[in-house]
Amino acid sequence: MDKDLGDDTGINTTLFDFNDDTKALKHVITWVGEENKFSGDEGVNYKTNKYDSKKPGNVIGQGYNWKLEDSGEEFVILKYDSYDNSVLNHYQMCAMWGVFFTANNVDWAEVVKELNDDLGGSKDWATYSESRIRIHIHEADYDYQEHDYKIKEIDINSEYTNEGVLEYYKFEYDGETIITLQLVNAFWVQYWVFVIIGIIALGAIIVVVLYFTAIRKSKVIEKVPPSAQAPAAKPEEKSPEAAKLEEKNPEGELICLSCGKKNTAVGKFCEYCGKTIE
């Protein structure tokens, strides 16, 4: 809600007021006031510096080329009150046209139900499911040349975080996408505590599994009975000829088994009979 526009939701100064070549927007809140009354409704006013980037970035918020567009612009976040019709009407307009920041206690299911009733109620013009607001309405334009009405479909999808920050917004008119906004790194911003807890828990589980796996392996080794262990290697049996030769030649001299003579030179063949020394 733009403070200068009273009951207007400020759509001309928030979502739709930027050039076609803008790739990203950034609002930095520089000041937050005390709770007060604005046009009779309770709320909080705040100031922002608005930046835009003509250069696209990545999903973790890097690579943009930010340029300051507006400084010190003031807005109001109305306190949600389901019994206040003007507040309900305000948040119905927020559901349709989108704003960057809302109260963090908005009952969007109730807001959408009231909006659907205001749109006719006979159909599900507006629905709320799984934190996503979906609005489908149509606009009838009279064609003076064909003397008939042309129906143009309008589809709006939006979603806000638990803190009241716009997370997703898409506006389609007659099958053409007019604007799509996606909060960068929204999951980490909203659930960073749970992500860290999950990482710590996963690390602890891995350590415990590895510890008990090591203990199990050591116990298996201790429980192996002696009968199941590998038998000791038997000494190599010698052939009768080798045993006979060893008896005659305990010093290990080369003696030919064919002629029985002792060889003085180390070789494969007997130097007397020429046969192989085995």
Residues 48-86: pLDDT tens digits? 888 888 888 876 677 888 899 888 888 889 999 989 998
How far apart CA 30 and CA 74 sit, in angstroms, is 10
pLDDT band of residue 28 (cuts 50, 70, 90) is: confident
Q: What percent of the chain is predicted at pLDDT more than 90?
A: 15
Task: Return the pLDDT at 11.
Answer: 39
Q: Is the pTM of this model over 0.75?
A: no
Q: Which residue has the tokens 């119905």?
A: 92
Task: Locate the domains of the chain by residue range.
Answer: 3-184
Residues 141-171: pLDDT tens digits? 666 777 777 788 889 999 999 889 999 999 9
Task: Return the pLDDT at 126.
Answer: 92
Residues 207-258: pLDDT tens digits? 777 766 766 665 555 555 555 555 555 555 555 555 554 444 545 567 777 7
